[in-house]
């Protein structure tokens, strides 16, 4: 049997005063440093100053439109099939235009279940869904607020980004 001997602690070590003073010294050093060098502070005062978002950040979804304002989605169900969280609900319907086979009558995404993996974006053959809205704020009072429908997704476009894409009929 191996016996581990503990060192004898002095009164100073038993009271932990050295550790307390060392911690207080580190805190004081950081506080004084932040007062005189505010450019080194790593926090953002959020409503006034927003944190820079990387260009490839996966944010809320948006649906792209054709030039005739209809959704680019052809209701092929590839995005719903690729989704590991099973958060996309699509109900297909026949399109009045004979050049377009079908369109989504219902297109819902449950943002509470979504893991923001962007597999739906990668699976879409006609570039109908994107995750480039750069929205980081998501708030709501009920769970139903986080189930977004087709109308919301068609209007969910950031400033400076076009709601249209190349027409691939």
Q: What are phi and psi of 27, to 5 degrees?
A: -65, -45
The residues spanned by each domain of the chain are: 12-45, 62-155
Instruction: Read off the pLDDT band of 166 (50, 70, 90).
Output: low
Give the model confidence (pLDDT) of 76-105 as tens digits: 999 999 999 999 999 999 988 888 889 999
pLDDT at residue 165, as a whole number: 61
Identify the architecture of domain 62-155 in CATH: 2-Layer Sandwich (3.30)
CA pair distance 93, 149, nearest whole angstrom: 16
Give the model confidence (pLDDT) of 19-58 as tens digits: 899 999 999 999 999 889 888 877 888 888 888 888 889 9
pLDDT at residue 163, as a whole number: 74
Which residues, listed in sequence order, are joined to residue 112 by a DSSP beta bridge?
Answer: none
Least confident of 1-5, 35-39, 133-137, 161-165: 161-165
Give the model confidence (pLDDT) of 53-82 as tens digits: 888 899 999 999 988 888 999 999 999 999
Please name the residue ranges forming H helices in the chain. Answer: 11-14, 17-36, 78-82, 119-123, 150-155
For residue 158, how many other CB atoms are within 10 A of its CB? 13
């Amino acid at each position: 049997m191996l016996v581990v001997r503990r060192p004898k602690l002095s009164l100073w070590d038993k009271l932990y005063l050295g550790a307390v003073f060392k911690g207080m010294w580190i805190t004081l050093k950081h506080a004084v440093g932040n007062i005189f060098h505010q450019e080194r502070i790593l926090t953002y005062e959020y409503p006034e100053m927003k944190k820079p978002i990387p260009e490839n950040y996966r944010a809320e979804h948006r649906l792209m439109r054709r030039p005739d304002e209809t959704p680019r989605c052809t209701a092929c169900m590839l995005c719903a099939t690729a989704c590991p969280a099973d958060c996309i609900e699509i109900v297909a319907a026949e399109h009045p235009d004979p050049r377009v086979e079908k369109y989504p009558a219902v297109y819902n995404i449950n943002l509470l279940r979504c893991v923001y993996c962007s597999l739906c974006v990668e699976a879409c053959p006609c570039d109908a869904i994107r995750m480039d809205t750069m929205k980081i704020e998501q708030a709501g009072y009920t769970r139903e607020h986080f189930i977004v429908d087709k109308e919301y997704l068609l209007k969910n476009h950031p400033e400076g980004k076009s709601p249209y894409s190349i027409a691939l009929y």
